[in-house]
């Protein structure tokens, strides 16, 4: 009888942990969707200052604090995903860093969106 009680406790604990992880993941996705909707116009064409990138199909604003921002761009035909960091310099957004997260020719060719697993613990 005691063994069955421990199994129920372990099962409930496992379900609780999964629930917490799901809530964290979903809150990160929701935060990113809100930032994207709010700052869409600002970053729609911001990637064009980087002459190494071609046309982009879509993007998500990952972080924004008024002075800096990180934006995840998905290229046309979904051939790559890049995170560009921007700084607000005298009212204009200038690229400060560029990182290719995945590429069709790379090992993560099926990963497009959501990109939340990289930002779950980066401050929701």
The runs of H, that is alpha helices, within the chain are: 2-38, 40-43
Question: Are 95 and 86 contacting, i.e. CB atoms less than 8 angstroms apart?
Answer: yes
Strand order across the beta sheet in which 80-89 lies: 56-64, 68-75, 80-89, 92-103
Residue-wise pLDDT tens for the chain (124 aa)? 445 566 777 888 888 888 888 888 888 888 999 999 999 999 988 888 876 788 888 899 999 999 999 999 888 877 788 889 999 999 889 999 988 877 777 655 555 555 554 444 444 3
């Amino acid at each position: 009888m005691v063994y069955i009680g421990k199994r129920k406790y372990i099962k409930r604990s496992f379900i609780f942990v999964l629930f917490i992880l799901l809530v964290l993941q979903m809150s990160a996705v929701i935060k990113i969707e809100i930032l994207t909707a709010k700052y869409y116009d600002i970053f729609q064409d911001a990637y064009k200052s980087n002459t190494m990138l071609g046309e982009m199909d879509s993007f998500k604003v990952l972080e924004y604090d008024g002075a800096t921002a990180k934006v995840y761009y998905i290229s046309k035909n979904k051939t790559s995903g890049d995170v560009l960091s921007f700084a607000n310099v005298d009212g204009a957004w200038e690229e400060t860093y560029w990182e290719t997260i995945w590429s069709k020719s790379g090992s993560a060719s099926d990963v497009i969106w959501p990109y939340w697993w990289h930002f779950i613990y980066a401050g929701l």
